[in-house]
Amino acid sequence: MGPAELLDYDRAKLRGLVLEEGAATNHVAIVARALDIPVLGKVSGVLDKIEPLDPVIVDGDRGQIFIRPGEDIKDAFKRSLLAHREQLAKYAASRDLPAVTLDGVEVSLNVNAGLLLDIEHVHASGADGIGLYRTEIPFMARSSLPDVAAQASLYTRVLDAMQGKPVVFRTLDVGGDKVLPYWNNEEEDNPMMGWRSVRITLDRPMILRQQLRALIRSAAGRDLRLMFPMVAEVAEFDQARATLDLEMERERARGGNLPQSLLVGTMLEVPALLWQLPQILSRVDFISIGSNDLLQFLFASDRGNPRLSDRYDTLSPPVLRLLRSVAEQCEEAKVPLSLCGEMAGEPLGAMVLVSLGFRRLSMSAHSIGPVKAMVLGMDAGQVRDYVLTQLDSAAHTLRPKLRGFARDHGIQL
């Protein structure tokens, strides 16, 4: 199933999505979550176990599916849904409050988006903006490559719908597990580390030029924030930035209305860039860590492999030492730093990130409420002092200790 097929379903009737093949992190799942549909991925043999009209409960939070559930399970889920609704009401009450810790640290909470449908969730959650707009999702839902006018129209609608709230557009990030149906996609032995993302758009510069042209036109008279994904070396960023400058000059020459401001950043998700931080920091307006890809490359561990999914933890000492180092270098260079990834949307992970100096986080819209509740109840300095005492540990993970610290200090997770 592709994103376009999913969007064809009657949303009033589609209540859950279970994939026998494909992870819950693939592009179909991303679209499903934008529609507020719970998703389970890689459920082996599920098609052989379900008959048409079978009652099924899909628990996307716990990763569980119940086929033909008994009355006791149904009753338990009814109680769980009631408790969930009560919790949502509490989050809604603090929707318009700024996310500020007990010791006065301000944290910007943003949403990862990829569809116009996401924007209503941005406003409903009280998020500060969109920290990652995945421009590839509309490309995947089409039968042909969108032209400049189609792209510019979409980006204009996004900016209009955001009503002045900031949007960070990520340029086309395809390849790997994100395939365009109308491209001749060659098989690769290791597609996640292959010809993907900015490597494709630098090798096919007209695709990048057309997208940048569309973004520039959509932001006429407004602020434009964009970032390049999967940058592995400074030379790649320089090449992409030169393409952007070329398109800015082209638009200026044709008498177009340019963006009133332009901020250009890079994703930090390839470990090689960690050893080029001083050089890249002198070139960018901001950095956004893509923690999902960065950590799978760091540990040489396929995040879609169920045998490895629990083997390495984002809250392990080496990961936290790495993140602390990046935060310190960005602070010294006065370059804003954000993190978009599953770690940011988990209250425990967000607690640690704030303590290490991260002031901008981007996550799914439904994570904004729980993360804001955590931020409002934490003392960043107190958490930082504790985390620093644990960074030299040789433990596989600090998760149990951090959870215990949060519990002992009344931090809501």
Is 340 among the catalytic positions? yes
Judge contact between 47 and 311, C-beta under 8 A. Answer: no
Judge contact between 368 and 127, C-beta under 8 A. Answer: yes
Is 27 among the catalytic positions? yes
Q: Give me the catalytic one of 27, 121, 330, 366.
A: 27
Which residues 6+ apart lie within 8 Å of 232 measured at CB?
A: 270, 272, 273
| Location of structure tokens 């149904």 | 74
Q: Is 76 exposed, middle or buried (0-12, 13-18, 19+ CB in 10 A)?
A: middle
| Location of structure tokens 């904004």 | 368
The first and second tokens of residue 315, run together, are 């809250």
Which residues, in sequence order, are bridge partners of residue 112? 132
The Cα-based distances of 38 to 13, 77, 169, 183 in angstroms read 13, 14, 25, 29
Query: Distance (Å, rounded) from C-alpha 156 to C-alpha 139?
Result: 16
Note the residue count of the chain: 413
CA angle (348, 278, 295) in 5-degree steps:
35
Phi (first) and psi of residue 170, to 5 degrees: -95, 130
Q: Give me the catalytic one of 330, 340, 366, 396.
A: 340
Q: Which residues have a catalytic role annotated?
A: 27, 340
